[in-house]
Amino acid sequence: MDLEQQLRAALAPTTPGPQVRAAVKLRLAEKSHRGSVNRWVLVGAVLALGAAAAMLAMRLLEPAATTVIAESVHVLDVPPGDAPDAPVSVDTTSTETTSATQDSEAPPVGPAVQPFTVNVPPLKSDVDDPSRKAALETVYTTLVDGLRDVPGLTLVDATATADYRLTLEGNAAPASATAKDDFWVNMAAEQIGPAGRVLRGYHTGATGEVAPACASPSSMDTLSYPTCADPIGVARRLLVTLRKSVFPVDPQLQRDLRARLFDQTLEPGERRQALADLGSLGRGSAAMGAFPAGLRDPAVVRAAIQLASVAPDPATRAQVWYTLRGSGDPTLLRPLVAALRTDADQDTRVQALATLVADFATDPQARSALETAGVGDPDPMVRALAQRALGAESVWTDYVLASLKDTGQSPTDRIKAFFYAYGLPTTRMYAVYSADGRILRALDDAGMRALAEVLPRAAADSKAYASASFTLVSELSYMKHPAITDMLLDSLDASEPWLDRSFAVESLRRRTDDPRVREALAKIARDDADPQVRALAVKPLGAEEKTVDVSALPPRLGVMTDYVKAAPGVPTELVGKLAVTRMSTGSPADHAGMKEADILLEINGTPITSGPQLIEVLDGLSKDVDVGVLVSRNGQTLRLTARF
Amino acid sequence: MSLTDPTLAAHRCEDSLARAQRGERAGFDELMCEHEARVFSIALRFTGRRADAEELTQDVFVQLHGALGRISGAGHLRRWLLRTVTHRCLNRLRDQRRRPQLVPIESLPTTDEPVAPESGTDPLAGPRLRRLLLELAPEARVVLLLRYQEDLDPSDIAATLDMSVNTVKSHLRRSLEWLRAQYTGDAHGS
């Protein structure tokens, strides 16, 4: 068959599902009530970066820590990533490609709808412009209306105790602004625990247009983000995020996503998205470190393995191995070993390796594969990671730093291992941002200079790296180091601006002890074409805006913790204590011999009662002095010694 | 095939179009039923994402509903639909390029990735070609879709996309050359 015939066959029309016709009918019905239909464009939700300084400090202190302490199911005797209700019965023989199809015919499974309550305080906004104000109010009312349709959700007022509090803050660009986005909404979704304590916060946002050339439909596909930036589209975008990632798992949503993952007639890319969505389901409500509820099913694991076996796109294969990390499902061992040994794609091998290490570190077959990769993999980064997995941490750190300083490589190649070590998604854009401060701490002066030198060039070379670079810069900008100041100053004069000018000016305002910065800001305040940037340059520094002196950081254990909940088999005296859910390799806790699922009882004789109190106790400790740590492990009390 | 070729489907379409124009809901439903695969497939092959394609398809038919009074017949309807969906696809891409794309990391696009060289034969030819298609420049992609999905002549493609016929031919020639090179390379695992 020649190419043109093959193209005709490949492009044979395919029909959309009946939901498209249904949605059109609804939109037409709505249109008859509302008047003209406008065209609309979707805007992505914005990750909140406002707390960058605090996050940086936390990352430098607590490797891999990204969030506040969360309430959890009990963790006694349960390894992290294997929550008590996770499936344990797995058919190790059923990795053949047909199994996923068979599973799709099985009756839908999943939890019952979990009731939960939500309080939405009034919209916070001091926007005066009538059209923007009205748009923001529409976002608010549409979101609240949409919440009423979420299964299990009950809206409660502020006087009642709610499981979640959603705070919306509306902002507007000046009416005269030339930018297309007229307003934006920041949303904080806080999970509330006992005594009104905030267990965790999820921040997101979306921008919108007052008069977009489109309008959102009245019905909504709960699986997809709307593609319009009208106020209704903005509200629904927030709602989809809440349903997919924040609220407890919605069984119907889970069934729909499973059906997509199991459907082998779909494009691998669509099945990959379904897998990613299943992985994010209920993540905002789950215990930190717990394997995602939507993936806790052998049939899902088998379907994902099958997807990896047929996906021509290496990004899909890599994402499968990444997403299944923490499942511990024994059917994964063989395909992971095979991927590490034979996959032609470096990133896929990296992800397979990381999942092997996370889930099968002690398995002889896995260790044999790691030993082979440590010496024989064609890629030096894979070799370094494999050696690290076998205990040679310094080999990996040395490789990251050497790559950063290797001016013979391209900027993206130089920074690739650093991004990986720091936990930033790069070219493939899967993974969750999970900054690991250890690699920042390992940077010597030359390393920091190399990073500051290569970062702008990597950002300019690759769109994917630009995104990761911006995330990193938003945190680096709070670090006190002359190389960072140089990088920010240089960005002002760059012929190809890689950093938002306002952001650079805001960051430089924290560095006015440097005369070059004062001079640059004075020039901007006087000459810059943008009045907002001119105003920023002279804006007084807020008390919360300060840089972080890495050398002055207080001691931290290097663990993440959850509260122990009452459950059968859990001694009453341990309920409410803090249990370790995640621990960084090489951290003081690691050196002290702590293990994940240990329950923290005392530090230097002080009983540990809560997360904030733990931080207070640690703040009061000195470095380079032995510290006694009392933990409960499997019903036994152990006394350990930590050194910071 | 020309846009104005009479077919049985076109006759059916005339009837449903007339009923839709009279305001009969069933007539509009039939129109959608007849044409949704065409519109949806172009959007899907252009964007590579089902959710986006579904949104675009909705947009096109909502817009069609408002424009029914200006549609003069089955051929005009098909031309109108192809023109609208292709322009919407291109505009959407332009809009997306103009604005920053900060999206939650877990929901980032999954399809704009390079295709892995692999061995394989006909069963994978369709998916591989569709993926290669996504790597073409947007205008070239639309031209190929209209040529090989809709079987339009270059002159009809030119009229649909407001391009010169020579530009269309140039897109076709270059795209086929590129696809042939890529596809052959894929097939041989190079």
Q: How confident is the model at residue A565 (pLDDT cuts 50, 70, 90)?
A: low
Reply yes or no on whether the pLDDT at A536 is more than 70. yes
Reduced to 3 states (helix: H, G, I; strand: E, B; else coil), residue B63 is helix
CA distances from B98 to A333, A446, B137, B139 (A): 44, 37, 16, 17
- What percentage of chain A reaches a pLDDT higher than 70? 75
Name the closest residue on chain B to residue A274, using Cα atoms.
Answer: B107
ipTM: 0.78
Contact A24 B180 (CB under 8 A): no
| Residue B180 and residue B134 share a domain | yes
- Position A279 scores a pLDDT of 86
Is B109 near chain A, with CB under 8 Å?
A: yes
From its phi and psi, is residue A336 left (phi > 0), alpha (psi between -120 and 50) or beta?
Answer: alpha
Is B190 near chain A, with CB under 8 Å?
A: no
| Mean of pLDDT over chain A | 76
| Residue B169 and residue B80 share a domain | no
| Residue B128 and residue B72 share a domain | no
| Residue B87 and residue B151 share a domain | no
CATH number of the A554-643 domain? 2.30.42.10
Out of A224, A241, A429, the one facing B108 most closely (by C-beta) is: A429
- Position A285 scores a pLDDT of 64
Rounded distance between C-alpha atoms, residue A172 and residue B10, angstroms: 50
The reply to whether B113 falls in a domain is: no
Reply yes or no on whether the pLDDT at A440 is more than 60. yes
Last residue of a domain, one of B101, B135, B151: B101
Reply yes or no on whether the pLDDT at B151 is more than 60. yes
CATH number at residue B27: 1.10.1740.10
Query: What digits encode the pLDDT tens for the residues A190-244?
Result: 888 776 766 776 777 788 888 777 887 766 666 677 778 889 888 988 998 888 8
- Position A374 scores a pLDDT of 94
The reply to whether B181 falls in a domain is: yes
- What percentage of chain A reaches a pLDDT higher than 90? 26
CA distances from A474 to A53, A227, A421, A470, A483 (A): 8, 27, 17, 6, 15
CATH number at residue B170: 1.10.10.10
Beta strands in A377-521 (DSSP E): none
Rounded distance between C-alpha atoms, residue A21 and residue A217, angstroms: 12
Average pLDDT on A339-358 reads 93
| Residue B96 and residue B9 share a domain | yes
Contact B104 A37 (CB under 8 A): no
Q: Bigger pLDDT: A110 or A517?
A: A517
| Residue B124 and residue B65 share a domain | no
Contact A4 B66 (CB under 8 A): no
Reply yes or no on whether the pLDDT at B186 is more than 50. no
Reply yes or no on whether the pLDDT at B189 is more than 70. no
Is B110 near chain A, with CB under 8 Å?
A: yes
Contact A47 B92 (CB under 8 A): no
Q: What is the DSSP letter of A119?
A: E
Q: Bigger pLDDT: B122 or A393?
A: A393
Average pLDDT on B156-185 reads 85
Q: How confident is the model at residue B2 (pLDDT cuts 50, 70, 90)?
A: very low
- Residues in B closer than 8 angstroms to A223, CB to CB, are 51
Contact A269 B49 (CB under 8 A): yes
Nearest to A71 by CA among A202, A194, A223, A231: A194
Assess contact for A199 and A69: CB atoms under 8 A: yes
Average pLDDT on A139-144 reads 93
- Position A583 scores a pLDDT of 65
- Position A59 scores a pLDDT of 42
Please state, as a whole number, how many other Cβ atoms lie within 10 Å of the Cβ of residue A87.
15
Name the closest residue on chain A to residue B99, using Cα atoms.
Answer: A43
Sign of torsion, CA A463 A501 A403 A65? Answer: negative
Is A473 near chain B, with CB under 8 Å?
A: no
Out of A11, A31, A204, the one facing B149 most closely (by C-beta) is: A11
- What percentage of chain B reaches a pLDDT higher than 90? 14
Average pLDDT on A321-336 reads 92
Nearest to A426 by CA among A325, A479, A351: A351
- Position A291 scores a pLDDT of 80
Q: How confident is the model at residue A524 (pLDDT cuts 50, 70, 90)?
A: very high
- Position A427 scores a pLDDT of 60
- Position A549 scores a pLDDT of 52
Average pLDDT on A100-121 reads 63
* Domain with B63 in it: 1-101
- Position A471 scores a pLDDT of 75
Reply yes or no on whether the pLDDT at A39 is more than 50. no
The reply to whether B107 falls in a domain is: no
| Residue B74 and residue B3 share a domain | yes
Last residue of a domain, one of B66, B101, B136: B101
Is B177 near chain A, with CB under 8 Å?
A: no
What's the total number of domains in chain B?
2
Is A112 near chain B, with CB under 8 Å?
A: no
Rounded distance between C-alpha atoms, residue A383 and residue A423, angstroms: 18
Query: What digits encode the pLDDT tens for the residues A444-492?
Result: 889 999 999 999 998 888 777 777 787 788 778 777 789 999 999 999 8
Alpha helices for A510-559 (secondary structure H): 515-527, 531-538
| Residue B122 and residue B37 share a domain | no
Contact B62 A224 (CB under 8 A): no
Is A10 near chain B, with CB under 8 Å?
A: yes
Q: Rounded to a whole number, what is the distance in angstroms from the first to the last CA of chain B? A: 36
3-state secondary structure A190-216: EEECHHHCEEEEEEEEEEECCCCCECC
The reply to whether B20 falls in a domain is: yes
| Residue B88 and residue B5 share a domain | yes
Shortest Cα–Cα distance, A427 to chain B (Å) = 9
| Residue B96 and residue B64 share a domain | yes
Interface of A with B in 211-250 (CB under 8 A): 214, 217, 221, 223-227, 241, 244-245
Please report, to the nearest 10 degrees, the dihedral formed by the alpha carbons of residues A602, A607, A608, A614 taken in order: -90
- Position B113 scores a pLDDT of 27
Query: What digits encode the pLDDT tens for the residues B82-125?
Result: 999 998 888 877 765 543 333 332 222 333 322 333 333 345 67
Is A45 near chain B, with CB under 8 Å?
A: yes
Determine the distance from the C-alpha atom of residue A513 to the mean position of all C-alpha atoms in its chain, rounded to a whole number: 34
Strand partners, A164: A118, A191
Assess contact for B15 and B8: CB atoms under 8 A: no
| Residue B93 and residue B3 share a domain | yes
Question: Each residue of B53-78: b (16+ CB within 10 Å) or e?
Answer: bbbbbbbbbbbbbeebeebeebbebb
- Position A223 scores a pLDDT of 66
Shortest Cα–Cα distance, B108 to chain A (Å) = 7
Is B115 near chain A, with CB under 8 Å?
A: yes
Determine the distance from the C-alpha atom of residue A337 to the mean position of all C-alpha atoms in its chain, rounded to a whole number: 27
- Position B31 scores a pLDDT of 86
Shortest Cα–Cα distance, A45 to chain B (Å) = 5
Contact A280 B122 (CB under 8 A): no
Rounded distance between C-alpha atoms, residue A487 and residue A474, angstroms: 13
Q: Bigger pLDDT: B94 or A1?
A: B94
Q: Bigger pLDDT: B139 or A609?
A: B139
Please report, to the nearest 10 degrees, the dihedral formed by the alpha carbons of residues A89, A91, A95, A96 taken in order: -140
Q: How confident is the model at residue B187 (pLDDT cuts 50, 70, 90)?
A: very low
Average pLDDT on A28-35 reads 50
Encoded tokens for B160: 């649909």
Out of A11, A20, A39, the one facing B57 most closely (by C-beta) is: A20
- Residues in A closer than 8 angstroms to B53, CB to CB, are 16
Encoded tokens for A350: 């990296």
Query: What digits encode the pLDDT tens for the residues A580-630?
Result: 766 665 567 877 888 877 888 999 899 988 776 777 787 777 777 788 999
Shortest Cα–Cα distance, A70 to chain B (Å) = 21
Rounded distance between C-alpha atoms, residue A271 and residue A307, angstroms: 8
Least confident of A75-89, A552-566, B135-149: A75-89
The reply to whether B72 falls in a domain is: yes
Average pLDDT on A322-344 reads 93
Report domain extents, chain A: 396-551, 554-643
Contact B110 A20 (CB under 8 A): no
